[in-house]
């Protein structure tokens, strides 16, 4: 299967699944054409297989009707030439996270320690409550199942401690910028945690509001139907109660969305499975993770049945220091090279 076959694949679904897909997504297919000068044909053949492959190319645009997340797929873009650059290893004397007890501040409630990590306060905060989870192993790609599970448990304990100090801080967020291409400013492996006051983060609220509107209009659970549509197309699997989706509207390359009832129910196993797939099967060396869920205490807005959600994307596209985000991604729609059906295959996802 290829994303280029998505429209045909949708038509082959059962009537109920096809209706559900159309309720959630809109697909448009177009053809881009160009004329290549003779002087370019050799270069095009070298990078793209042939000049003809470039002169007529298929573009698939998928839009989530509810959250308005959108991705534009053109697999040809994955063949573009990119500069390669190997990251420089960190120097011990330039790594403040190598001695966190000495070189990092702590939160007012102290540090939370796990078997594989410990917390620090963030010096330059984006929220009143914003901390770091520092892995004891500095290598960015040396994470294990145990260290990922320990990290999530440490995050849960950090959120609880911050909420205990500040009852108005209730909206949890975890984000993991792995590698310079993912926006990390430090080469030592670490995760960031935050607990927002007064209102949810904007990106989280957009999804919550979409789920609420979906339930009001269709009397159905948005997340359950999202999983069902991906599963019908062969782009979802379940691991210990958590669903892994090879997203049809990725924010960037190879997005895996994980949906779990709670942070304790399968989320860690699923997150490790996705990250191990990136590292071990797809040779991904830089990624972003965002993880969020319902507030720690009741609030005015409706969080009924809102799950814990993790979103994982590759960054850098294997191109070293080359940027993988431009104006279109910032202001219009994600432009994606990798096929979600190929990602589903790498994740061993089956219909």
CB-based contacts of 105, cutoff 8 Å, min separation 6: 120, 121, 123
Query: Cα Rg for the chain, rounded, in angstroms?
Result: 21
Let me know the angle formed at the C-alpha of 289 by 283 and 295, rounded to the nearest 5 degrees: 160
How many Å apart are CA 46 and CA 25, to the nearest integer? Answer: 36
CA distance 90 to 81: 28
**Position 18 in a domain:** no
The residue with greater pLDDT, 45 or 189, is 189
- Residue 85 pLDDT exceeds 70: no
Residue 167 lies in a domain: yes
Residue 90 domain-assigned? no
Residue ranges making up the domain that contains 183: 98-351
- Within a domain: 82: no
Residue 7 falls inside a structural domain: no
Flag whether 10 is in a domain: no
pLDDT of residue 263 exceeding 80, the answer is yes
Share above pLDDT 90 across residues of the chain, in percent, rounded to a whole number: 58
* Total count of domains within the chain: 1
Of 344, 61, 72, which Cα lies nearest the Cα of 230? Answer: 344
As a whole number, mean pLDDT of residues 163-185 equals 90
Q: Is 149 inside any structural domain?
A: yes
CA 64, 65, 67, 72 torsion: positive or negative? positive
Give pTM, 2 decimals: 0.87
Task: Assess if residue 52 is contained within a domain.
Answer: no
CATH of the domain at 177: 3.30.428.10
pLDDT in tens, 301-342: 899 889 999 999 999 855 444 566 766 676 667 878 889 999
d(CA 101, CA 106): 8
- Predicted confidence (pLDDT) at residue 239 exceeds the cutoff of 60: yes
Cβ–Cβ < 8 Å for 236, 245: yes
176 SS3 class:
strand
List, for residues 34-76, the tens digit of each pLDDT value.
677 888 788 788 888 888 888 888 888 899 999 888 888 888 7
């Amino acid at each position: 299967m290829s994303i280029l076959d998505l429209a045909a694949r949708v038509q082959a679904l059962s009537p109920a699944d096809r209706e559900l897909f159309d309720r959630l997504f809109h697909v448009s297919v177009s053809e881009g054409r160009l004329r290549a000068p003779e002087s370019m044909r050799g270069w095009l053949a070298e990078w793209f297989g042939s000049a003809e492959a470039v002169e007529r190319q298929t573009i698939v645009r998928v839009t989530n009707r509810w959250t308005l997340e959108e991705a534009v797929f053109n697999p040809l873009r994955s063949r573009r030439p990119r500069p390669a650059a190997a990251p420089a290893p960190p120097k011990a004397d330039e790594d403040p996270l190598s001695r966190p007890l000495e070189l990092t501040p702590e939160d007012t409630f102290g540090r939370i320690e796990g078997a594989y990590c410990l917390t620090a306060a963030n010096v330059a905060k984006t929220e009143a409550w914003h901390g770091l989870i520092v892995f004891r192993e500095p290598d960015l790609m040396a994470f294990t199942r145990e260290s990922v599970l320990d990290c999530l448990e440490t995050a849960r304990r950090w959120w609880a401690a911050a909420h205990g100090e500040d009852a108005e801080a209730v909206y949890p967020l975890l984000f993991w910028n792995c590698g310079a291409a993912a926006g990390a400013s430090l080469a030592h492996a670490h995760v960031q945690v935050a607990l927002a006051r007064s209102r949810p983060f904007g990106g989280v609220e957009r999804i919550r509001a979409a789920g609420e509107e979906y339930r009001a209009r269709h009397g159905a659970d948005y997340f359950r139907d999202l999983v069902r549509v991906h599963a019908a197309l062969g782009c979802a699997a379940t691991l210990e109660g958590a669903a892994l989706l090879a997203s049809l509207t990725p924010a960037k390359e190879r997005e895996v969305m994980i949906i779990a009832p709670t942070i304790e129910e399968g989320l860690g196993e699923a997150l490790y499975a996705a990250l191990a797939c990136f590292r071990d099967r797809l040779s991904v060396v830089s990624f972003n993770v965002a993880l969020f869920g319902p507030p720690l205490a009741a609030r005015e807005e409706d969080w009924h049945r809102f799950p814990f959600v993790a979103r994982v994307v590759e960054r850098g596209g294997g191109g070293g220091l080359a940027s993988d985000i431009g104006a279109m991604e910032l202001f219009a729609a994600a432009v994606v090279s990798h096929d979600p059906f190929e990602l589903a295959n790498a994740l061993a996802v089956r219909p």
